[in-house]
């Protein structure tokens, strides 16, 4: 009886939390399909329209170019950060280098610095390099933010792989790089994929640096959202439509990450 | 096939001395077992031969060639790991094939060779499974097949049977022995199981705290342990070791009197194996005490006798019966080997026959 009650209590709590968390997102989705006159009404009774999506992709909003910027910046960042971080993580995990702990701490410590502190130096640096308002600048900044995090994450996955298989491969005749290619990467793949998606999401959502370092050409989606605050007021229905465009890819990735995350956690060598 | 020479090798981890300086020669075609309790440096020694651990000083030679600075892949060795070290993302076939693939053997030859090896270790039907779908014994066979698929100069085996159940262990032991006979490859085998060491080895190196304390044939190690450590480590149940003194050609301790041929001496430890003691009828026996426990093992009964503070064990006939706490008498069998050790140094004093 008591147990039964507790189970129902747990369920009710879960539902409550889900509602609280999901409500703003659900409301954004609804608003994205509303006409401007419905945007401020609390009624669920409205005629849905796709006009908002058409509007945000056409002049003057041009969400398309922002999508391209976001996709490019996030993809290139992942493509550079993850291979580098994988090798770094492997080294941190497997090699006894003098000062390894200190180095690892140093890499992590970059995460302790508030972004606001370094955004101005970055701005000045990129101005001298004439890289302001370019995707290159955003990629460089995002790499700096994301790489330590990904190293830290992938190291966790590699640490969990027993060294037996690697040693066996070395004795079977594989060089260190061959071991990484044939043994470590396939075994760490779920973890690396998880980290890649994480890295993509972080970069995709990055706001502060993109806001300061871009003006017109390199504006990314999160920054683009701000442009819907106009002198005519906040265009909620357009902002929501753009919000949906930002959210959907991440939703898809979150679904992927969920599947692979559990795999990443439960995989590992055969004992 | 090759001879392995370890010359004055030493291994330190920072200030910790794992394997103190020593030398060891493993003859061509020999089956050498490194035996010792956990943490005695036997695995470290093997990993130094494999190249998985660097040596702090000294030289390792395989077939006369110094290989200190060669990575494992260039040492032409094969190794079977305690946890098998299989590649979980590859099928059994790919696992066995991998060493050949790395050496650029062409596809047709590989397939043929893998099939041969799989048949040899009775895995022929399981080639397309993954290691996670196999039982412990089958995984062990995959590891073995992967090691023998090419003919290396040396086999290294690190407690390969310790994850198997008792019955399978005995079967696999025999298979390993047969395999060694068939291939004749120099083998170094690490174990803490004295039974494995005794049954498999051409020679056994008993290790303690990084040092080889005795290196000899299993027969010799059993019959003439060089010191107290080896005496206590080899044999099951282990050798009875009793503190006492020798006076007038007689070893004496509480409840024990055994004639020995040794000059008078204090601080002597006597060692008699349980299988070399027999139950005697009366109080004129060498060892007198009370019966402490009887354990039937099937073919015999282990008789434990308590004399003062000392416990002694004898292997008696299976039908022996007596009430606990009844007076009990043991005596060395005629021709029994009596071992004498110096208490302080633990070293063997001249042994004698009864």
Q: What is the 3-state secondary structure (H, E, C) of chain B?
A: CCCEEEEEEEEEECCEEEEEEEEEEECCCCEEEEECCCCCCHHHHHHHHHCCCCCCEEEEEECCEECCCCCHHHCCEEEEECCECCCCCCCHHHHHHHHHHHCCCCHHHHHHHHHHHHHHCCCHHHCCCCHHHCCHHHHHHHHHHHHHCCCCCEEEEECCCCCCCHHHHHHHHHHHHHHHHHHCCEEEEEECCHHHHHHHCCEEEEEECCEEEEEECHHHHHHCCCEHHHHHHCCCCCCEEEEEEEECCEEEECCEEEECCCCCEEEEEEEECHHHEEECCCCCCCEEEEEEEEEECCCEEEEEEEECCEEEEEEEECCCCCCCCCEEEEEECCCCEEEEEECCCCEEEEEEEC
Contacts of B156 in chain A (CB under 8 A): 171
Q: Identify all chain B residues contacting A174, using CB atoms and an 8 Å cutoff.
A: 73, 102
Going from the C-alpha of A144 to that of each of A81, A127, A137, the distances in angstroms are 9, 18, 11
Contact B98, B175 (CB under 8 A): no
Q: How many CA atoms lie within 13 A of B75 on its CB side?
A: 28
**How far apart, in whole angstroms, are the C-alpha atoms of residue B189 and residue B49?**
12
Nearest to B96 by CA among B60, B143, B151, B46: B143
Q: Which position has the token pair 């995989």?
A: A267
Strand (E) or helix (H) holding A9? helix A2-32
Interchain pair B139, A170: CB under 8 A: no
Q: Do B52 and A175 touch (CB under 8 A)?
A: no
Distance of CA B264 to the CA centre of its chain: 35
Q: What is the pLDDT of residues A35-74, one digit of tens each?
A: 888 888 877 888 888 888 998 898 888 889 999 999 999 9
Sorted by sequence, the CB contacts under 8 Å of residue B208 that are 6+ apart come out as B36, B37, B40, B229
CATH H superfamily, domain B4-230: P-loop containing nucleotide triphosphate hydrolases (3.40.50.300)
Tell me which residue has tokens 């920072």. Answer: B14
Q: Where are the domains of chain B?
A: 4-230, 238-353
Both tokens assigned to A175: 């060089």
Alpha-carbon gap: B70 to the closest alpha carbon of chain A (Å): 11
In the structure, what pLDDT confidence band is assigned to residue A268 with cuts at 50, 70 and 90? very low
CA dihedral B190→B194→B195→B196, nearest 10 degrees, is 0
Of B71, B81, B163, the CB nearest to A168: B81
Give, for all 354 residues of chain B, the pLDDT tens digit: 589 999 999 999 888 999 999 999 999 999 999 999 988 899 999 999 999 999 999 999 999 999 999 999 999 999 999 889 999 999 999 999 999 999 999 999 999 999 998 888 888 889 999 999 999 889 988 998 999 898 899 999 999 998 888 888 888 899 899 999 999 999 999 999 999 999 999 999 999 999 999 999 999 999 999 999 999 999 889 999 999 999 998 999 988 889 888 889 999 999 999 999 999 887 677 898 999 999 999 999 999 999 888 899 999 999 998 899 999 999 999 889 999 999 999 999 875 444
Q: Do A172 and B78 touch (CB under 8 A)?
A: yes
State which residue of chain B sits closest to A163, comparing Cα positions.
B85
User: CB of B217 within 8 A of CB of B204?
Assistant: yes
Contact A63, A57 (CB under 8 A): yes
C-beta neighbour count of B289 within 10 angstroms: 20
Interface test with B, best of A164, A165, A168 (most B CBs within 10 A): A168
Q: Which domains does chain A have, with CATH numbers?
A: 63-266 (1.10.3720.10)
**What residues of B are in contact with residue A167 (Cβ under 8 Å)?**
50, 52, 72, 79, 81, 85
**Distance of alpha carbon B285 from alpha carbon B331, whole angstroms:** 6
Complex ipTM over 0.90: no
Architecture of domain B238-353: Beta Barrel (2.40)
Q: Which residues of A touch B83 (CB under 8 A)?
A: 162, 164, 269, 271
């Amino acid at each position: 009886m008591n147990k039964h009650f507790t189970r129902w209590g747990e369920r009710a709590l879960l539902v409550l939390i889900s509602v609280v968390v999901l409500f703003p997102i659900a409301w954004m989705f609804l608003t994205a399909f509303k006409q401007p006159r419905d945007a401020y009404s609390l009624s669920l009774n409205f005629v849905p329209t796709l006009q908002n999506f058409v509007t945000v992709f056409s002049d003057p909003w041009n969400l398309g170019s922002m999508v391209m910027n976001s996709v490019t910046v996030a993809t290139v960042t992942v493509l550079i950060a993850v291979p580098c971080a994988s090798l770094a993580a492997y080294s941190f995990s497997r090699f006894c280098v003098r000062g390894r702990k200190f180095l690892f701490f140093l890499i992590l410590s970059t995460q302790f610095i508030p972004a606001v502190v370094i955004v101005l130096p970055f701005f000045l640096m990129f101005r001298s390099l004439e890289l302001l308002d370019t995707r290159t600048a955003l990629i460089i900044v995002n790499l700096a933010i994301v790489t330590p995090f990904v190293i830290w994450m992938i190291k966790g996955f590699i640490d969990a792989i027993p060294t037996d298989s690697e040693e066996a491969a070395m004795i079977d005749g594989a060089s260190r790089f061959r071991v990484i290619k044939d043994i470590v990467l396939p075994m760490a793949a779920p973890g690396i994929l998880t980290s890649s998606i994480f890295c993509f999401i972080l970069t995709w959502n990055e706001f502060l640096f993109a806001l300061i370092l871009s003006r017109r050409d390199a504006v990314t989606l999160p920054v683009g959202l701000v442009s819907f605050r106009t002198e005519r007021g906040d265009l909620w229905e357009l902002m929501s439509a753009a919000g949906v465009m930002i959210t959907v890819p991440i939703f898809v990735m979150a679904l992927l990450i969920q599947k692979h995350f559990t795999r990443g956690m439960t995989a590992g060598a055969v004992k | 096939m090759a001879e392995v020479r370890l010359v004055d090798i030493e291994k330190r981890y920072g200030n910790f001395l794992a394997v103190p300086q020593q030398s060891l020669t493993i003859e061509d075609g020999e089956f050498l077992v490194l035996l010792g309790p956990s943490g005695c440096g036997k695995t470290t020694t093997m990993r130094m031969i494999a190249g998985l651990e660097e040596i702090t000083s000294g030289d390792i030679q395989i077939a006369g060639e110094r290989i200190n600075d060669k990575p494992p892949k260039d040492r032409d060795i094969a190794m079977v790991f305690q946890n098998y070290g299989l590649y979980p993302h590859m099928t059994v076939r790919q696992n066995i094939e991998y060493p050949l693939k790395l050496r650029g053997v062409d596809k047709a030859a590989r397939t043929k060779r893998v099939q041969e090896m799989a048949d040899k270790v009775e895995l022929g039907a399981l080639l397309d499974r993954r290691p996670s779908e196999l039982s412990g014994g089958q995984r062990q066979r995959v590891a073995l097949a992967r090691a023998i698929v090419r003919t290396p100069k040396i086999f290294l085996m690190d407690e390969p049977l310790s994850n198997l159940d008792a019955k399978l262990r005995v079967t696999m032991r025999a298979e390993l022995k047969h395999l060694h006979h068939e291939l004749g490859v120099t083998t170094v085998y690490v174990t803490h199981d004295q039974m494995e060491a005794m049954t498999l080895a051409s020679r056994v190196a008993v290790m303690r705290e990084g040092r080889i304390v005795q290196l000899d044939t299993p027969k010799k190690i059993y019959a003439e342990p060089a010191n107290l450590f080896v005496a206590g480590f080899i044999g099951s149940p282990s050798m009875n070791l009793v503190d006492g003194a020798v006076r007038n050609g007689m070893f004496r301790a509480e409840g024990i009197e055994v004639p020995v041929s040794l000059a008078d001496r204090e601080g002597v430890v006597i060692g008699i194996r349980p299988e070399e003691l027999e139950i005697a009828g009366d109080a004129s026996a060498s060892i007198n005490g009370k019966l402490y426990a009887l354990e039937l093992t099937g073919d015999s009964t282990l008789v434990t006798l308590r004399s003062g503070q000392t416990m002694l064990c004898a292997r008696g006939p299976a039908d022996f019966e007596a009430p606990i706490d009844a007076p009990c008498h043991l005596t060395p069998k005629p021709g029994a080997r009596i071992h004498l050790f110096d208490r302080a140094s633990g070293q063997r004093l001249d042994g004698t026959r009864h």
